[in-house]
Amino acid sequence: MSIVLTENHYGKSRVRLVKVERHGDRHHLTDLNIDIQLRGDFAASYEQGDNRLVLPTDTMKNTVYTLARREPIEQIEEFGLRLADHFISRNAQVSAARIWISQAGWERIAVGGRAHDHAFIQGGAERRTAVVDRGRSSVKVRSGISDLIVLKTTGSGFSGFVRDEYTTLRETQERIFGTAVKADWSYRGDENSYGTYWSAVRSAILETFAGHESLGVQHTLYAIGEAVLDRVEAIEDVHIAMPNRHCLLVDLAPFGMENPNEVFLPIDEPHGLIEATMRRG
């Protein structure tokens, strides 16, 4: 029997990094989770156990900490590019490197109306993300945001959908709309304003979600994608995923009470999952 190794890659997953940059009494905090993946001439390590071309994954972890110490991290996309460049430039056997970074948000604690110099509070589940794909002759960067949890109590309905013998869902013109937005996007050229663009995309998502008269999750998702591409000319395409986190109206009739859209049961599972990619035509 002939066996062919058709594809392989390896790396280090979930490298945790917290860096404190101290500027006198004013400190800057960065909290990252990093995955590293290398592709290249590693077939011998799989087929014969020959590790002469294998860079240990422990070395990858140590590289993260060393590069973080040498220079300010700045934007996570820039740090991802530095890591990818390091692995490509120092290892001839590596044909491509992928760096995935997730950043937790920490905000300064307000004390007496002033942001504290070195005390922070975590801002919730929301994370900023970046994926850097570096080859020998090309590089691609995708920025993103995940677990941006939003909810509005009006301005959302769902009606006119297909019905069959298994349909029990009632049409509604008034419902709670909750979701955890996940979005990622690529750029039209070489960019270095990643932080500015990320903030603009986040604002577009929040403002559109709040103001859009939604006829369904798909309807609002499309409006968000339109807003992102309209506001940030540097973005080429955007992928958006929006799980529909339901709040079910509780039936209070058994207790002799009406429920005029006030008391709900939130459920996480099962939930609808709506996704789409939009790009410039």
pLDDT cut 70: percent of the chain above it: 100
For the question of residue 12 being annotated catalytic, the response is yes
Q: What pLDDT was estimated at residue 191?
A: 74
Each residue's pLDDT tens digit, 25-79: 999 999 999 999 999 999 999 999 999 999 999 999 999 999 999 999 999 999 9
Across residues 223-242, what is the average pLDDT?
97
- List 12, 86, 182, 212, catalytic entry: 12
Give the 3-state secondary structure of residue 271: coil
Q: What pLDDT was estimated at residue 75?
A: 96
Q: What pLDDT was estimated at residue 48?
A: 96
Q: In which band, very low, low, confident or very high, does the pLDDT at 123 lie, cut at 50, 70 and 90? A: confident
Each residue's pLDDT tens digit, 199-212: 999 999 999 999 99
Q: In which band, very low, low, confident or very high, does the pLDDT at 87 lie, cut at 50, 70 and 90? A: very high
Residues near 281 by beta carbon (within 8 Å), at least 6 away in sequence: none
Across residues 257-271, what is the average pLDDT?
92
**pLDDT higher than threshold 90 for residue 224:** yes
Each residue's pLDDT tens digit, 8-27: 999 999 999 999 999 999 99
* CA 54, 59, 61, 67 torsion-angle sign: negative
Tell whether pTM > 0.75. yes
Assess whether 161 and 97 both reside in one domain.
no
Domain that holds residue 259: 148-279
Assess whether 177 and 115 both reside in one domain.
no
Q: What pLDDT was estimated at residue 268?
A: 83
Burial 88-116 (b: 16+ CB within 10 A, else e): beebeebbbbbbbbbbbebebeeeeeeeb
Which of residues 117, 137, 157 is at a domain's end?
137
2 domain residue, yes or no: no
Across residues 161-171, what is the average pLDDT?
94
Q: What pLDDT was estimated at residue 1?
A: 79
Q: What pLDDT was estimated at residue 206?
A: 98
For the question of residue 208 being annotated catalytic, the response is no
What are the strands of the beta sheet with 94-111, ordered from one edge?
Answer: 10-23, 26-40, 94-111, 114-135, 139-152, 177-187, 235-244, 272-279
Q: In which band, very low, low, confident or very high, does the pLDDT at 190 lie, cut at 50, 70 and 90? A: confident
Amino acid at 145: I
Contact status, residue 9 vs residue 38, Cβ threshold 8 Å:
yes
* Nearest residue to 214 (alpha-carbon basis) of 254, 171, 261, 158: 158
In the block, tokens 């591409």 appear at 229
- List 57, 152, 219, 239, catalytic entry: 57
Q: What is the number of domains present in the chain?
A: 2
Assess whether 178 and 133 both reside in one domain.
no
For the question of residue 152 being annotated catalytic, the response is no
**What is the rounded average pLDDT for all residues in the chain?**
96
3 domain residue, yes or no: no
Which of residues 137, 165, 194 is at a domain's end?
137
CATH number for position 268:
3.10.270.10
Q: In which band, very low, low, confident or very high, does the pLDDT at 269 lie, cut at 50, 70 and 90? A: confident
In sequence order, the β-bridge partners of residue 277 are 239
Assess whether 270 and 154 both reside in one domain.
yes
Q: What pLDDT was estimated at residue 136?
A: 96
